[in-house]
Amino acid sequence: MQKFKILVTRKWPKKVEESLIATFDTTLNVDDKPLSESELIEAMKSYDALLPTVTDPITDKIISTSDRQVKIIGNFGVGFNNIDIDSAKNNNIVVTNTPEVLTDCTADIAMLLLLGVSRRGSEGEFHVRKKEWVGWRPTHMMGTKITDKTLGLFGMGRIAQAMAHKAHFGFRMKIIFYDPYFNDEKTIKKFNAERCENIDDLFSNSDFVSLHCPSTKETKGIVNYETISKMKKTSYLINTARGDIVVEDDLVKALNEELIMGAGLDVYEAEPKVNEGLLKLKNVFLLPHLGSATTETREAMGMRVYENIKAFFQDKEPRDRVV
């Protein structure tokens, strides 16, 4: 195969970088420093493929640059809201993502957030480390029991289903969901899940609301003060999807007003910045976008990009083509 020129925008797992080097004329980012807009524009002119990650904004300005050579953008991540998909379509550029391989690990992190916030995991850990613990007592650091509680899934895609599996079969949780596009009756039956007809029903009937929808024009900011006000005072919000689905200032306000009991977040509106209001609160469990962060998963994600790019340059249909 002709050695196509590809640019990898961040440092990737070694195993994947080795496969890329063996097949393509590959430029790596050994310093792992994010590329600027002008560097990305230059890259569009001199490479055949661009391999960004979910934190690289691939805007219309970058995509529609003149003298463009890039023909495929192989995104490292299942979410592709960092890429202007309409522009890619209009400019005849193929875009691929990395579904499936991160489903279980992301659902694990959603469960970790759920457990961490309701059982006061990080509070307890700091308590021990700061040597504040004076011993067991009946009223010390009481959290919320999760067994037999209701988990409300906003979106019923792969990650939501993996979480439903863990929560229902592992923790005997009742599953309810809101997803107007989901009609797989067999799966609904498997989890004995109940469909909610609207968002209000989901938010008002859940002990834990876990977000599993993509970030789109329709879902951006959909979790705001009004939505959160519908939740039970004893409930928690969990987000492993995308930060901009939640209006962070509204969440902070709701938490300060004790409208809900707490939140577990892996994603934020303006990553890597985290809202100062959240940092001041004890009843939040905060992680730095770790959903897919296991060696096995990150290698598998990278290999999916590799396979997609390879297929494309062999004139085959890439398995994970999104446009």
Residues that bind ligand DGY (CB under 6 A): 54, 77-79, 102, 291-292
Could you tell me whether strands 49-51 and 72-74 are parallel, antiparallel, or unpaired per DSSP bridges?
parallel
Under 8 Å between Cβ of 225 and 255? no
Closest to ligand DGY by CB, 79 vs 116, is 79
Residue 9 token pair: 């925008």
Q: What is the DSSP string of 170-237?
A: IH--EEEEE-TT---HHHHHHTT-EE-SSHHHHHHH-SEEEE-----TTTTT-BSHHHHHTS-TT-EE
Closest to ligand DGY by CB, 79 vs 264, is 79
Query: Shortest approach of ligand DGY to residue 126 CB, angstroms?
Result: 26
Residue 100 sits at the vertex; the CA angle it makes with 95 and 103, to the nearest 5 degrees, is 125
Burial class of 291 by CB neighbour count within 10 A (0 to 12, 13 to 18, 19+): buried
Question: Considering 10, 289, 298, 304, which one is annotated as catalytic?
Answer: 289
Closest to ligand DGY by CB, 159 vs 196, is 159
The yes-or-no answer on residue 271 being catalytic is yes
The secondary structure of residue 245, as a DSSP letter, is: G
C-alpha separations of 167 from 70, 187, 322 in Å: 43, 14, 30
Query: Shortest approach of ligand DGY to residue 289 CB, angstroms?
Result: 6
Closest to ligand DGY by CB, 77 vs 264, is 77
Angle between helices 295-313 and 14-23 (to 10 degrees): 10
The yes-or-no answer on residue 317 being catalytic is no
Question: Considering 39, 271, 299, 321, which one is annotated as catalytic?
Answer: 271
Question: Considering 68, 120, 212, 242, which one is annotated as catalytic?
Answer: 242
The yes-or-no answer on residue 68 being catalytic is no
Query: Shortest approach of ligand DGY to residue 268 CB, angstroms?
Result: 12
Nearest to 223 by CA among 210, 234, 233: 210
Closest to ligand DGY by CB, 102 vs 263, is 102
Query: Shortest approach of ligand DGY to residue 253 CB, angstroms?
Result: 26
Query: Shortest approach of ligand DGY to residue 291 CB, angstroms?
Result: 4
**Annotated active-site positions, please?**
242, 271, 289
